Each structure stands twice: as structure tokens, then as C-alpha cells.
Structure 1
Amino acid sequence: MQHRHSSIRIVDNLAEITRHHDRQVLEKSLLKTLNELFPAQSLRLFRVRRHDLVHDISLLAFCVNDVISSSDQHPKLNFETADELTAALTKAIDKEDIVSYRQSGNDGWNVIYPAFDSHGEIFASLVHHCHELPSVNDQRLVHGILRVYANYLALIDKSQRDKLTGLYNRETLDEQITKILVNQSSELNKLMASPNDSRRRRYAIKHWLGVVDIDKFKVINDTYGHLYGDEVIILVARLMTSGVIRDDDLIYRFGGEEFVVLLKAANEVDAMQAFERIRKVVANHSFPQLGQVTVSVGFVEVSAQLSPTDVIGQADEALYAAKNEGRNQVQNYHHLVAAGKVMEPKKMVSSNVELF
């Protein structure tokens, strides 16, 4: 596959990629650009995570027949990952280099490009399925575009991080909650259109937001000073990111000694267990000079609220209940409402306002 690409066209495509700040939109823009420069039967972008010696590979975005989408938009769409593709992906990751092979049945070529983060670790892999094997120069160009994508992604990630803890900052939280509410509204409309699809309702992804607050933090600050208080915040942040929740769940520094956790769980029981793991890992850790430090947690399902402020407010009410009940515990907003300990605000009845 021999293509001559003008410098202007390449620059225009790179400018289009770096125009976006949302990661999902950025991934789709990357595939759109590559598909315009190198028309393909399909393009697939996989996320790569290393767990010890095992590679965890999951689909992020794909382009088939010029249709580009993300895996979140089609969570049930699974490409058939044949053994030869799995082996080739693993080979490209292990070799840290481009790998190409002809598919079984002479159905064109697969070219696999690893993408490296700022630490030199492979964080993604692109699979380019095409009729003819790209030239060496074309492969170098694709690899170069992936480097631009990786570098820009690192800049976005840095701008969204809290400087003290390295967690996501508060500015990115509202956007993420809004995205969940909008997606849920879209899913709800689909379910209402197909009321008999009980299986889809049963396996729908549920999102939960928890506010995590360090107990008696003012006493720590007053007794040991603000520098030590910052060390406690950093330690709690590290404990929460030490594997007690899934890699794709999100943790934010909300301000001061407060954190927000956004996670996925099938039901309230699973969500409670996830937040309990966070509480226990902090309570069981021995902090220098202090010994035990505890956290209180209030959580709520992100579902049908009007705004991110409402979601956080409900989780906050559950947090206050946890504090009032003696701290070092997890409280569920919906259980508190059912028990009459929290009054659920009356919903405004409006017939003409379409929120999403």
C-alpha cells in the first residue's frame, strides 16, 4: 500500500486530533485521522495494562466501514479475538515493536503498533487490518502519529491531576458525572422503547459515587502541622489506588481531606463491598506517629439525578450520617432514605424541559 501524503494534510490531521480534550473523543479522532490517511478494512485501538507478567488487553475504540465508535457506546460489541491476533498483540507488546502478519484465509494483513506513554511503558496498541501490507515509510508515519497521540494524552492527563496526590482534580469530576447521566438517559430511552428487554436491564452498568472523608483531620493538622497533614492525605490517596478497586474506577481529590470515588458495580451490595474495602485498607494501615487513621464514606447510585451537584449532595448526606453514627463506616444514601433518616427532596414536575 503506497501512499504519498502531503505535509499540509498530515499537519491538518494532527491539528484535528489535538483539538479535543475528552479522551474518548480523542481516541475516535485518532482513528478517523488514520482511516483518512490509510484507508483500512478496520482499525482497533486496545488499552494495554500489565499485571505482573500478564497483559490485560481491552477494546477502547474501533473503525469499521468508515464508522467510528468507542467501546463504551457499544459495550456488548465484541470483536472475535482469534488466537493468532492475541499472539501477535502479545508479541508486539513483548518486543515493543511493530508486528505484522497475514490473516488466516488470505484475508489481508494485520499490522500491530504499540503506543508508549511518557514513562516508556506500552499503554495501548493499534491493530490496522488492510488489504496490502503498508510500506516501511507508511508504518513509520502511523507510529509517529501514535506518538503525537500519546504525548498529547499525557499533557491532558497532567492538566487533570491534583498536584499533591496525583489523583484526578475536582474540575474533571462534574464533566464525568454529567457524561454518566447523559449516557444513562440515552440507555433509559432505549429500554423504554423495548420494555420487554429484561436481560438488558438486568446487566446494565451501574455507577456509584462515594465521598470519602478522613476522620478528625483537623486534630491531625492542629497536632502535627499541615505538612504532616499533607503526608496523611498522600498516604490515604496511595492506599485507595493500591488495588482495592478496579483499574477503570476513578478517584478524585475533592478538596482538603475529601476524596470522591466513581466506580462501577452491578448492585448496591457490590458497591457497598467496594467502598468497605477502601475503608478497611485505610483503617488497617499503620500511619507513622499516628497509628490508625480512619475514613468515613457516604455513597449513592448515579441515576436519574438532575445534575452533578445533586449526586454529590446525596453522597454528602450519607457521609454526614456516617460521621454522626460514629465515623469509620460506610453509609448508603438510598438505605438512609428508606429508613427515614434522610428526607429525599421532592422532584420538580416539569413537562416541557428536556435535560438530555
Structure 2
Amino acid sequence: MNHNSIRIIDNLAEITSYHDRHVLEKSLLKTINELFPAKDIRLFRVSEQSDNHDLSLLAYCVNDVIVSSDENPRLVTEDKGISETIFQAIEAGDVQLSSTENGLWNLVYPAFDAHGDIFAVLLISTDLVPSNGDQRLIYGILRVYSNYLALIEKTQKDKLTGLYNRETLDNEITKILVRQGRHFNDQITSPNDSRRRSFAVKYWLGVIDIDNFKTINDNFGHLYGDEVIILVARLMTSGLIRDDDLVYRYGGEEFVVVLKAANEDDAMHTFERIREMVAAHKFPQINQVTISIGFVEIVAQSSPADVIGEADEALYYAKGNGRNQVHSYSRLLQEGKVKSVSKVAHGGVELF
């Protein structure tokens, strides 16, 4: 076995050693860049929006620096040549090649999921076109990435609804708290810095509960109750939120949505749209099902449990004041309608 083959095996072993999607994406680009050094490598998520395909950047590699883009910035379409090549690859379902005015070549490789649908594309900008053998190797590495990603997602999904399960939620909240904590510290230490938190992406977590679900189970049975849970899950993921927002089944008839919004009003508007969509849907046999929602910004809490606890407090208020409502924890706290959940008594001693 030659050194190049050993290097390839080592890189494949590294790709399949991670269980975090963002780290996996960085490892993929690191492998491609080591085997085939390029000017620019980018990985895009592909999602369908009506009759069009929407692209968001997942990770990129420039000058050997690799970044996983948690913020998912949209594809800058100023370079029409790159955009056209990407959409040609999606349309053809095959590798596409195009040249640029400055002598570079753009290669676009589609990545397929378990159902044969294109869920991502890899863009490589290089001054030397890889040989046919090298292109096959790149395509093979992409298949390893796709297959391994499918295995990871299978362990992270709830079997009934197909949503992310509760076990993956804590990790996601922790990553957001760390990321938002950096922005928060920037604002404190550098109040005049252009990177102030007011310009940072803000994350919001909503806990969603199906109203009167016990009555549904008692009157129509648990199998029908499961159908209601599945229908509510589908409604929440049917274009109500963006592709890079996340929906979890938290347990029983409870869900959690983690989304990005510029401010509290925008977050309220999104959660209201979810509530209205469910309330307007005609369910078999029972006609209407409603949900209650409590939400909070993920920003400076001590732990994922605190984030969930604050959103839960707003949810309990919604349930206790008529149901079929959306409430913000911070607004309820300001109005004196709920108490701070950060002051937790333990063994008679107040910890915070």
C-alpha cells in the first residue's frame, strides 16, 4: 500500500470519527483540501423552496483556513458563473465544470441523501483540473460523508415524528450559549466596537405543548394521539420556519423550536404563525387542535436547563391563562407576571 492510499484511509477515518455535523463538515473540507489543494472550497446545503432550490453555506476553506458556518449566510450570487454551475449540477445530478476569466476552474459535486435527493453541493475553485481518477475519489469521499451523516441523523431523530430528539437539544443549546456568550463579552469589553451584539444573530427557543392532549388520548385512543403528534410536527416543518431552524420532539406532546430572529417581535411573529397554522388546520374527527407556546432568547443563561426552564415558565403562563397563546418569558418577567427561574433554592440555600 503506497503512502497516498494510507493518507486517504487516515482522512476517511477522521471524517467518520465525529458525531457533530459542524465538525464533520470541517473535517470533510480538510480532507479534500489536503488531498487536492485548492484556492477555495465551499459546501452548501440545498433545500427546495417551491419550484426553486435555496442554497445556504455550511462550511468553507480559503487559504487552508476552514470554518463551519453556523450562521448559514446566503450564497452571494454576484458571480453568476458560479451560481449557474451550481444549479446546473443540481439539475443534472452530476459533476459540472466551468472556467473563470482569471484562469480558475470551478467544479461542483452534488451530494445525495439516502433517498437519492441532492441535499448539498461541494464547490472547488482550482487552477488545475483534477484528473478523472481524482474526481472519482472526491465523489467517493462525498459519498462517505453523505452515508455517515445519514447514520448520525438516524440516531438523532425521533422515530415517531422524524424530528430531532431530546438528546440532541442540550448540545445545540450549549453551542449557542457559548457562541452568544462571545458576542455578549464583545459588547461589554468593547462597547464601541462595530461587532457589538446588536448586530449579532439572535437565537430563540420556544417550548410548544398540544393543548388538552390527555382529553384527545382519553376520547380517541393513543394511536390517534400519535397521529395528532405527527400532524402537528408536519405542520411546524412545512415551510413555517427556515431550513436552518431546528424542531425537536421534547417528549410526549411537547416540542421545542430553536430559531433565529433579529429581535423579540420577529421571534413572536414566527411563533404566532406556528400557532395560527395549527389552529387553522382541520384535524380528522376532532376538527381543531391548538397549541400553547412559551419562548425565550438563548443568550446569557447558565445552562440549557435554565433556557428550557425560562421558556417553560412562559408556557405554563399560556396554559394557565386560556391556552392557544404565545408568550415571551422576558416580557412576562418585566410585567411581573412570572418569577425569575434563575433563583433556584437547593437544600434551603439560594444558589443564584
TM superposition score normalised by structure 1: 0.92
Identify which range, 88-97 or 134-143, moves more after superposition.
88-97
Q: Which amino acid aligns with 1:37?
A: L
Deviation at 1:93, TM superposition (A): 1.1
Shift in alpha-carbon separation, 1:186–1:199, aligned structure 2, 3 A? closer
Deviation at 1:132, TM superposition (A): 1.1
Q: In structure 2, what is the equivalent of residue 318 of structure 1? A: 314
Q: In structure 1, what is the equivalent of residue 48 of structure 2? A: 50
Alpha-carbon distance in 2 for matches of 1:242, 1:27: 26
Deviation at 1:193, TM superposition (A): 3.7
Out of 227, 234, 237, the position equivalent to 2:233 is 237
Would the aligned equivalents of 2:59 and 2:66 in 1 still touch at CA under 8 Å? Answer: yes
Alpha-carbon distance in 1 for matches of 2:6, 2:73: 39
Q: 3-state SS of the aligned residue for 1:266? A: coil
Q: Pairwise mapping of residues 77-226 of structure 1 onto structure 2 (< 5 A)?
A: 81-106=78-103, 108-197=104-193, 200-226=196-222
Would the aligned equivalents of 1:71 and 1:77 in 2 still touch at CA under 8 Å? Answer: no
Q: Which amino acid aligns with 2:134?
A: D
Deviation at 1:9, TM superposition (A): 1.8
Identify which range, 252-261 or 127-136, moves more after superposition.
127-136
Q: In structure 2, what is the equivalent of residue 11 of structure 1? A: 9
Q: C-alpha root-mean-square deviation of aligned residues, in Å? A: 1.9
Q: Which amino acid aligns with 1:34?
A: I
Out of 266, 269, 289, the position equivalent to 2:262 is 266
Say whether 1:289 aligns with 2:290. no
Deviation at 1:197, TM superposition (A): 3.0
Q: In structure 1, what is the equivalent of residue 349 of structure 2? A: none
Shift in alpha-carbon separation, 1:326–1:183, aligned structure 2, 3 A? same
Deviation at 1:347, TM superposition (A): 6.1
Using the aligned pairs only, state the percent identity. 64
Q: Pairwise mapping of residues 16-27 of structure 1 onto structure 2 (< 5 A)?
A: 16-27=14-25
Q: Pairwise mapping of residues 26-65 of structure 1 onto structure 2 (< 5 A)?
A: 26-65=24-63
Q: Which amino acid aligns with 1:174?
A: D
Out of 61, 66, 69, the position equivalent to 1:68 is 66
Query: Where does the alignment leave 5 or more consecutive residues of structure 2 unmatched?
Result: 345-352
Deviation at 1:56, TM superposition (A): 1.0
Q: In structure 2, what is the equivalent of residue 335 of structure 1? A: 331
Would the aligned equivalents of 1:319 and 1:331 in 2 still touch at CA under 8 Å? Answer: yes
After superposition, give the CA deviation of every residue in 1:250-308 in whole Å (9 maximum; x if it has no partner): 11000000001111111111111111111111111111111111111111111100000
Deviation at 1:72, TM superposition (A): 2.7
Identify which range, 51-60 or 161-170, moves more after superposition.
51-60
Q: 3-state SS of the aligned residue for 2:70? A: coil
Shift in alpha-carbon separation, 1:285–1:77, aligned structure 2, 3 A? closer
Query: Where does the alignment leave 5 or more consecutive residues of structure 1 unmatched?
Result: 349-356
Identify which range, 125-134 or 51-60, moves more after superposition.
51-60
Q: Which amino acid aligns with 2:216?
A: I
Would the aligned equivalents of 1:102 and 1:110 in 2 still touch at CA under 8 Å? Answer: yes
Q: Which amino acid aligns with 1:61?
A: A
Would the aligned equivalents of 2:55 and 2:74 in 1 still touch at CA under 8 Å? Answer: no
Q: 3-state SS of the aligned residue for 1:105? A: coil
Shift in alpha-carbon separation, 1:309–1:252, aligned structure 2, 3 A? same
Shift in alpha-carbon separation, 1:142–1:79, aligned structure 2, 3 A? same
Deviation at 1:95, TM superposition (A): 1.1
Identify which range, 214-223 or 188-197, moves more after superposition.
188-197
Would the aligned equivalents of 2:186 and 2:195 in 1 still touch at CA under 8 Å? Answer: no
After superposition, give the CA deviation of every residue in 1:132-181 in whole Å (9 maximum; x if it has no partner): 11100000000010011011111111110000001100000000000000
Q: 3-state SS of the aligned residue for 2:242? A: coil
Q: Which amino acid aligns with 2:6?
A: I
Identify which range, 77-86 or 121-130, moves more after superposition.
77-86
Q: In structure 2, what is the equivalent of residue 352 of structure 1? A: none
Deviation at 1:78, TM superposition (A): 7.6
Matched residue count? 343
Q: 3-state SS of the aligned residue for 1:68? A: strand
Alpha-carbon distance in 2 for matches of 1:341, 1:71: 38
